[in-house]
């Protein structure tokens, strides 16, 4: 069994994929070709956001968003401690200071009370509290109502890191439509993945959109050889846009299937492990299906499952504030929930090409392994 099965997906979309790729080979517009704007428009339509701009990867997307908001040296950027390193790295890349905030034990997303406390802490330093990057971890959108309340009071800009949540929604509002700017990633293993690196930024703000279009092409002005600011070389390849357009044709049914599998798991596993919390009105994109088990059993459970041909993953083994790169950060982080989660979480396969036999095997093996380990 594979943790993510891109081969079964490819078999399903192969004719569409080949005709999309053939078209790119025929027109030869490999940089910002017509597929890039077609994809951008399609993603505007599915997310309900006015502007979508394809970029080279999800980390650049965050960097471009921060730079468009004017964030830089002297600014504190609040990020959850329990996420992939890129969320904090983007702030570091532009000379800003990432400040780590704890997450909620139920949704694993940034905790607004901890955010408020971290802002107070930064106010006692020379840094300016400037922005928060909320991550929609494992595909579930963060609590933007609570984050917006803190951001409004403390004058913070909001970036939604939707690298894992494209396709999710909260009370009918789609992921990548929250905050001043939202970002996503098309890394192959994300819910919508290409065949290499890719990403996008989203905003309803015309000026921010224009700035980000400039930043992705060397800070260009009205033409390529008119340079107004220091930018990046961070375009989404035409070939990757073509792959994504082929995959978009099955994306909705894939999200439905992930949701169906997740609901099956939650029904079957609720008595054995702590299953994911999905607040009312929310629909996850299920980038991961992550359970919590007692820390003492977690690694042994993963070994048992591997023995039953079930791959698992630990997202994430270490909170970012404890990573050596951030260990001597100028703002001391207090993230006990993140630390505990790193010892308790285990992600099991939830990709949309699992068969019914696969999902039954997974719940049976998980239940029997846990029962024998708990004896
Ligand atoms: C994958 C990921 C990123 C970075 O995306 P890349 O395309 O790999 O650069 C950023 N944030 C989160 C939460 C991610 O999961």
**pLDDT (tens digit, 0 to 9) for every residue of the chain, 375 residues total?**
999 999 999 999 999 999 999 999 999 999 999 999 999 999 999 999 999 999 999 999 999 999 999 999 999 999 999 999 999 999 999 999 999 999 999 999 999 999 999 999 999 999 999 999 999 999 999 999 999 999 999 999 999 999 999 999 999 999 999 999 999 999 999 999 999 999 999 999 999 999 999 999 999 998 878 888 999 999 999 999 999 999 999 999 999 999 999 999 999 999 999 999 999 999 999 999 999 999 999 999 999 999 999 999 999 999 999 999 998 888 889 999 999 999 999 999 999 999 999 999 999 999 999 999 987
pLDDT for position 344: 98
Q: Could you give the 3-state DSSP secondary structure of residue 130? A: strand
How far, in Å, is the centroid of ligand 1 from the Cα of 374?
35
* Residue 110, strand partner residues: 103
Q: Taking the alpha carbons of 322, 144, 70, 45 in that order, is the dihedral positive or negative?
A: positive
Q: How many helices (H) and strands (E) does the chain have?
A: 11, 12
* Residue 127 CA neighbour count, 13 Å, CB half: 23
pTM: 0.97
How far, in Å, is the centroid of ligand 1 from the Cα of 18?
27
| Distance, CA of 219 to CA of 216 (rounded, Å) | 7
Which residue's alpha carbon is nearest to atom 6 within ligand 1? 58
User: Taking CB atoms and a 6 Å cutoff, what residues make up the pocket around ligand 1?
Assistant: 57-59, 83-84, 86-87, 135, 161, 163-164, 185, 187, 197, 199
* Residue 324 CA neighbour count, 13 Å, CB half: 0
How far, in Å, is the centroid of ligand 1 from the Cα of 57?
8
Which residues, at least 6 apart from 152, have a Cβ–Cβ distance to it below 8 Å?
Answer: none
* Residue 106 CA neighbour count, 13 Å, CB half: 5
* Atom in ligand 1 nearest the alpha carbon of residue 287: 15
Which residues, at least 6 apart from 199, have a Cβ–Cβ distance to it below 8 Å?
Answer: 54, 55, 56, 57, 58, 59, 60, 61, 163, 183, 184, 185, 186, 236
* Residue 170, strand partner residues: 173, 282
* Cis ω before 110 (30° cut-off from 0): no
Helix (H), strand (E) at residue 199: strand 199-203
How far, in Å, is the centroid of ligand 1 from the Cα of 351?
18
Which of 54, 109, 161, 192 to mutate to test ligand 1, by most ligand atoms within 8 A of the CB atom? 161
| Distance, CA of 328 to CA of 348 (rounded, Å) | 33
Which of 66, 81, 83, 84 to mutate to test ligand 1, by most ligand atoms within 8 A of the CB atom? 84
* Atom in ligand 1 nearest the alpha carbon of residue 62: 10
pLDDT for position 181: 98
Tell which residue, 257, 279, 261, has the closest CA to residue 363: 261
pLDDT for position 87: 97
Calculate the CA 288 to chain-centre distance.
Answer: 10
| Strands, E assignment, 66-126 | 75-80, 97-101
How far, in Å, is the centroid of ligand 1 from the Cα of 327?
21
The count of residues in the chain is: 375
Instruction: Give one DSSP letter per residue of 284-299, joined into a string.
Output: ---S-EEEE--HHHHH
- Burial of residue 204, with CB atoms counted within 10 A of its CB: 0-12 exposed, 13-18 middle, 19 or more buried: middle
Which of 58, 91, 184 to mutate to test ligand 1, by most ligand atoms within 8 A of the CB atom? 58
Tell which residue, 318, 308, 312, has the closest CA to residue 346: 312
């Amino acid at each position: 069994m594979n943790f993510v099965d891109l081969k079964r997906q490819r078999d399903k979309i192969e004719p569409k994929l080949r005709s999309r790729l053939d078209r790119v080979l025929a027109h030869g517009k490999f940089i910002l070709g017509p597929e890039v704007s077609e994809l951008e428009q399609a993603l505007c339509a599915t997310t309900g956001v006015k502007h979508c701009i394809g970029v080279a990867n999800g980390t650049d997307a965050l960097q471009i968003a921060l730079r468009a908001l004017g964030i830089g040296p002297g600014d504190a950027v609040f990020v959850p401690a329990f996420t992939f390193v890129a969320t904090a790295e983007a702030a570091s890349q532009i000379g800003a200071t990432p400040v780590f905030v704890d997450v909620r034990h139920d949704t694993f997303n940034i905790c607004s009370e901890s955010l408020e406390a971290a802002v107070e802490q930064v106010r006692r330093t020379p840094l300016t509290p400037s922005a928060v990057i909320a991550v929609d971890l494992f595909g579930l959108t963060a609590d933007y109502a609570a984050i917006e309340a803190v951001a409004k009071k403390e004058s913070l800009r909001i970036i939604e890191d939707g690298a894992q949540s494209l396709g999710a929604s909260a009370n009918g509002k789609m992921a990548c439509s929250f905050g001043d700017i939202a970002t996503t990633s098309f890394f192959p293993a994300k819910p919508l993945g290409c065949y290499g690196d890719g990403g996008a930024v989203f905003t309803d703000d015309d000026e921010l959109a224009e700035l980000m279009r400039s930043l992705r092409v060397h800070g260009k002005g009205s033409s390529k050889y008119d340079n107004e600011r220091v930018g990046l070389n961070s375009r989404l390849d035409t070939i990757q846009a073509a792959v994504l357009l082929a995959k978009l044709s099955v994306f909705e049914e894939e999200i439905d299937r992930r949701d169906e599998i997740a609901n099956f798991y939650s029904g079957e596993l609720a008595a054995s492990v702590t299953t994911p919390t999905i607040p009312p009105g929310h629909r996850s994109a299920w980038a991961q299906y992550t359970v919590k088990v007692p820390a003492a059993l977690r690694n042994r459970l993963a070994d048992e499952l591997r023995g039953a041909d079930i791959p698992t993953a630990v997202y994430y083994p270490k909170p970012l504030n404890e990573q050596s790169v951030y260990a001597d950060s100028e703002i001391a982080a207090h993230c006990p929930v993140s630390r505990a989660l790193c010892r308790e979480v285990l992600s099991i396969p939830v990709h949309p090409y699992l068969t019914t036999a696969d999902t039954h095997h997974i719940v049976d093996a998980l239940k029997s392994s846990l029962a024998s380990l708990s004896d």
